[in-house]
Structure formats: C-alpha cells, structure tokens
Structure 1
Amino acid sequence: MADTKKSGTAQVYEDTATHVNVKEYYGKVLKKTSDLKTNACVTSSRPVPVHVRHALQRVHPEVTAKYYGCGLVVPECLEGCRILDLGSGSGRDVYMLSQLVGEKGYVTGIDMTEDQLEMAKTYIDYHTQEFGYKKPNVSFVQGYIEALNEAGIEDSSYDIIISNCVVNLSPDKKRVLEEAYRVLKDGGELYFSDVYSSGRLTEEIKNHKVLWGECISGALWWEDLLQLAEEVGFSPPRLVTASPITVDNKELQNILGDFKFISATYRLFKIPGGASKPCQVVYDGNITGLEVGFTFDSQYTFKVNEVVEVEGEVVRILSHSRFSDEFTMQPPAGPCQPCAVGPKADIVNPFELSQQRRSAVPGSSTGSCCGTQSTACCN
C-alpha cells in the first residue's frame, strides 16, 4: 500500500518502494522501446483508424521513441472533450489526442517520472505550431495517479480519462479507480489499456523489480478488475479488445511459470445506477472518422443506419454518456423490422477473446427482432 502523511489538514501521498523502482526503470533504465524485455508495453491490440494514424504521424519522433504503451487508447467522439491521461509518459498519446479534441478541447497528462515529463513538456510549443493552434490545448503535471487531488485535479472536471499500460504499475489499483471516478463528470468514461493475468500472481512475481517495470508483476487477475469497478461505482467493464503478451526472456519466463498475460482495453462509465430494458438503437454516423460505423466493444459493432438490439446495460451507457446524441433509440412499435440481434449480457473472458478468430463482425448478423426482449423499450 502507498504511504500517506498529513501536512496540516491534507494528506500527502508519498513514494512506495514500487514507485521508486518504476521511476528508475522508466526514467533511467529504459532509453527507447527496444530496451523492453517483453512485448507487454508495445502490443498493438487492434488496427489503427486512418484519422488516428494521421494524428500519430504528426507527433514528434523523439516523443514517439519514448512511448511504452500496451494498446490503442483512443475512444470515439472526442471533439471539444476534456481528457486526462494517467501516466502520460513522454506525451505521445496526449499530443495525438490534442488533435482529435480540437482547439476547443483540452488534454492533461499526469506522470510521476520527471524525465518523462521533461521530454513531454519540451515539445509543447512544437506541437502547438504543428497543429496550427493559437495556444496550447495540452498541459503536463507531475503527480501520482493514486492522488490526483494533490496534483490539483478537481472533482467532476473531465469527460474522459485514458491510461495506457500504467494502472498495473500502481500498488493500489482500487485507489486509482476511486480517483478516476471522482474526477470524471457524470456520464464520463475511463477508457484504458492494461495488462492482466490469468490468475492472482505469487509473491515472488509481485516482488520482481524487472517484471514490475515490464508491466507484468503488477498485473491484475482480470476477474478482480470486475470486482474493483463494482466497488468503486463504475458500470460493469466493457471489454473492447485483447491481445496476448509474450515473454521471450527465458529467465523471466521460468519465474512466471504457467501464468499467462494479456493486454486488454476496457471502458468503464460513470453513469446512474438502476435497470434498463433492452432496446433497439440506430447509430447516426456522425462521429468523426467513423461515418460508416464503429466498434463499441468486443460484443457490439454499430453500422450507420442499422437497427441493433442492445442489452439494458448498454442502453444506460448510450443514454447517459457523450454518445447520447450519436444514437437514435427506437421503441419497437408496429410491424417487426429486421435488425442486428445483439449479444447477451455475458462476461467476456479476455483470454478467450484473444484466441478467437471470428468469421463475422460481432453484432452485425441480420435477423428477426420479434422476440420477447426486443418488444421492450428503453426508458
């Protein structure tokens, strides 16, 4: 657990041994991506959309060279949003997102490693000019993702929080989720890629310094994420994508034994509780770069103007988040119409998902929506 000390009336969050080791690993040991001993922090979990690829290409090469993320953390519908990047490192994702939110949006990066922050701040003016902005729409602050309040990040101040292969580096993951929940606006989203294990790790693995730096020792058992999210108040995590992680170093692999690891992207929403009935929805096609359709998670892919039946939990998310203006909710009335039948509200195992080779896009099969569930309207 992390240490906290009182200073006056406030608590001050202090380094743990884990924080010290991580700072040294990312600030001193790693000089470039090729120094990594596993692919945990370089795994690309899905194809990069064209508009995102263009944004990445405009980020300064030196910033990109110090990038150690484990997935693509680019949620949809970003124009004008305020985004917070937990563990922003060299700033690659911040500068990419600064283009997608536009001049009216804003992106803040927080990191505890001075060397990484120095790199990120060096290129603020460069990217402001490169993107043609009158003033910067990004900032970087030093601090801990477990103590965002100490970095001056206020309650309900961000629309979206992202994190790329960083939560696993924290010794207190529940506190990270609690802080994220606090600073998100109602309807806000935590969209993050991280490393997960096939079971709860042994103490030997948890205490291995190199494996901590490689994002392995701190990996949560994926089922524990579901429990933590519920305890904090988030909606049940929606799995977006998952990719296997390989450890080529024989010495490290011997320590890990039969444990398996995966890079997975989840989305968690801060939305009101309660139950919603299944409903038919239609994606209107107005999200930039995704005019034909977009993949919401591993279970739902929405195509423009296609009627899709969704479960109650997804109805709540679409109705109470920034996506509320991007979908038309259709109460089933009159003759039955063909629609894409959505999946049941089952928990998706990320390890199973990574091994699947789907022959069809999920949620896109045409069928009849005349069943009992499809006759209920969202409230």
Structure 2
Amino acid sequence: MGIHEDVKDYYGRRVQKTEDLVLNMCVTPAQPLPKYIRDVLNVVHEEVSSKYYGCGLVIPECLENCWILDLGSGSGRDCYMLSKLVGEQGHVTGIDMTQEQIQVAQKFIEYHTQLFGFSKPNVEFLQGYIEKLSDAGLKDNSFDIIISNCVINLSPDKKAVLKEAYRVLKDGGEMYFSDVYADCILPEAIRTHKVLWGECLGGALWWKDLFRIAEEVGFSAPRLATAKRIPVTNAELKKVVGDFQFVSATYRLFKIPASCPKDKCCVTYNGSIRGFKEKLKFDVNYTFNEGEAVTVDGEMAAILQGSRFARAFSIKPAGKVAPCSGEDPSTKSKVKADETYRGALGLCPH
C-alpha cells in the first residue's frame, strides 16, 4: 500500500501536466500512428490530453465492436480514442487508482459521446487497483482486449496484475501493452527511490521475468511488437541509476483457447483490417502481406485461429497445402525478439 499511496500522490498531486514529469520515460512514441488514429486523438478534449503520461500509444488492430479494458487509464485519453474506434456496439472501461485522474476522465463522458455522434456512452471509468479487478466488479471472461500504457511498472505486484488480466479476458482475448523494462534485476536503491518509481524506472521489470510470469499465469509467450531505448537525462537521477539501462517496449499476450491445436499452419492475410489493407506487422517476427501465404509456428497458428484475427486470415494445416512462400521464422522467433530488444539497448546481439 505504501507504493500505491506514493504513486497516487505523484500522479494525483505532484504531476499536474505532462511537462511536470522529471524524465521522458513515459512520453516515448512507440511507432508512427495511422492518420485515422491521429484524427481521433486530435479531437479528444484538451484537458484530458494534457494529463496524459503514457509511453507511446497502445492500439492493437481489429477493434470494431470489441470490449476493451484499459489498466491505469489515467485521464482517459486512450479510452476516449478507443471508444470511437470500437463504435457504439463496442465498449471501453478504464480503471485507475488515482481519484484526481478518474475525476478528469469522468467529466468528459458526455462531451465525447456527443462529439462521436453516439446515442449513449460506450465508455466508463472506475476507481480501483489493477491488481484487484474483482473489487471493481469486473467479471471473468468479460473483455476481448486489455491495454495498458506505462502503468504495470508502477504496480508492486506484477504477477497479480497479469493474473487478473488473464481472468477477465475472454478465451482468445489479447493483452496488448507498453511498459518500461530494465536490462537486469534492479537493486534496492533504485526500486525504493520514490521519484524513480513515479517516473516508471524504479518498478521496471527485468524483461526476462515478464516471460516467466506470463507462462506461470497461463498466457502465450510474450510477442515483442516494438522496443526503443529510453535514456535517463536528468543528472541527479542518472547518478542513482548508474549503468542500468531501460527500454520502452510493447508486448502482446494471448489467452489461447485450450481447444486450439498448436500445429504449424499456412496462413494468408485477406487485407480486411482497417488501416492495414496491404500489410499487417503483427510482431518483430511476423509481417503478413495481403494475399501472401506464410508458414507460421504452432503458437502463432493457435493465436490467429482462436482470436478476433481469425476472420482476417485463411488458415490451413501446413502439410495439406502447397509450400508457402517465405522462410518459416518459427525456429528463429525468440532469437529475433531477443536481438530486437538488445539492439534497442545498444547491446551486442549475443
């Protein structure tokens, strides 16, 4: 509870706008945004956007009619943007433990409902802890997608967060999130530093621990989408951090249905996902071009078959079709993800 109270104080009272942050950890862009997303962001109310502290923007593909949960929704910027993208038949729930942030978000529900031309709100904001979603009334198997933007590192119990996320996701659901990671396990001097914790460094998880926790909870292996090194520029804090290095990375985790076989398959993308007509970059290992047959490993095949992406792909057993084009990256996927991450840190590839 001490960490929770420190974080609430930091983001509820000390930090009033983005410029109040000491470092730039939580404003690092993850990747270029499509125009249709930029257009929505540009109309989100100014007060909501001015209190945005996330590291990049976490927007997975294929959102129409989805039910989405935003862990650590803050002032609600991402929730309002997503509420437009999911449409009136979709729904977005934001949860945050900081009362001041929730008050800002709730103040503009009707404003954005009218702005987007909806007959009723499709977004709600709850005050609560991301480690205890049941206390906020969130039920099992309720959401298609969970997003989180530079928040899980602020939690003192990362495993509890992922366990709760797994519980409330539907079978085939996805957790798509950006966060700050360290190049190794951090010492106590960094982990107990209040400013470093509030600035998303003190609580940064060693990235290899993410893989361990995800497996223990039941998720598929984390799939790295983007990674970018974020240097510590403040001289005083740099003395505390020393040679430890940090990355802003986006991962995607899936709750694969038990009924989905994990057999190598040949898949063909049909180009039906909005904003990704010609090409869908799924992660650092797989990029799907419209109409091109690609061999995928068993876990990726299960993800595509068991998730909302199934309607965007033709999926056939690899042994029952002509050889697919391109090299099968299944044996190299973990190596490539590791090299991408280490490359962001400026480390050698091995």
TM-score when normalising by structure 1: 0.87
Paired with 2:299 and 2:150, the residues of 1 have a C-alpha distance of 26
- Secondary structure of 1:340's counterpart equals coil
Map of 2:311 onto structure 1: 325
Aligned to 1:254: 239
Two-structure CA RMSD over aligned residues (Å): 1.6
The residue aligned with 2:284 is 298
Distance in 2, matches of 1:127 and 1:332, equals: 47
Is 1:182 the equivalent of 2:172? no
Partner residue, 2:181: 196
- Residue 49 of structure 2 is matched in structure 1 by 64
Counterparts of 1:125-274 in structure 2 under 5 Å?
125-273=110-258
Q: Which moved more, 1:142-151 or 1:279-288?
A: 279-288
The TM-score, its normalising length taken from structure 2, stands at 0.94
Return 243-252 or 106-115, whichever deviates more: 243-252
CA contact (8 A) 2:266 2:324 kept: no
Choose 125-134 or 344-353, whichever is displaced more: 344-353
2:56 corresponds to 1:50: no
1:134-167 CA-to-partner distances (Å, cap 9, x unmatched) read 1110000000000000000001111110000000
Q: CA 1:332 to 1:114, structure 2 compared with 1: closer, same or farther past 3 Å? A: closer
Distance 1:277 1:252, change over 3 A: same
Answer with 1 or 2: which has the greater Rg: 1
Post-superposition Cα deviations, 1:91-144, rounded to whole Å, max 9, x if no partner, equal 000001001100000000000001100110111111011100011100000000
**Residue 231 of structure 1, CA deviation:** 0.3
Residue 39 of structure 1 deviates from its aligned partner by: 1.5
- Name the count of aligned residue pairs: 341
Task: Look up the equivalent residue of 1:310 and give its one-letter code.
Answer: V
Of stretches 265-274 and 344-353 in structure 1, the one that deviates more from structure 2 is 344-353
Deviates more, 1:287-296 or 1:109-118: 287-296
* Alpha-carbon distance between aligned partners in 1 of 2:47 and 2:323, rounded to the nearest angstrom: 53
- Does the 8 A contact of 1:163 with 1:193 survive in 2? yes
1:353 Cα offset (Å): 4.4
| Superposed displacement of residue 330, structure 1 | 3.3
What percentage of aligned pairs have identical amino acids?
57
Shift of 1:275: 5.7
The amino acid that maps onto 1:143 is: G
Letter in 2 for 1:220: L
Structure 1 residues 89 and 324, CA, compared in 2 at 3 Å: closer, same or farther?
same
The alignment status of 1:351 with 2:341, answered yes or no, reads: yes
8 Å CA contact retained: 1:38, 1:245: no
Q: Which runs of 5+ in 2 are unaligned?
A: none
Choose from 314, 323, 331 the match for 2:300: 314
1:11-38 deviations in Å (ceiling 9; x for gaps): xxxxx11000000110111111111122
Residues 72 and 340 of structure 1, relative CA distance in 2, 3 Å threshold = farther
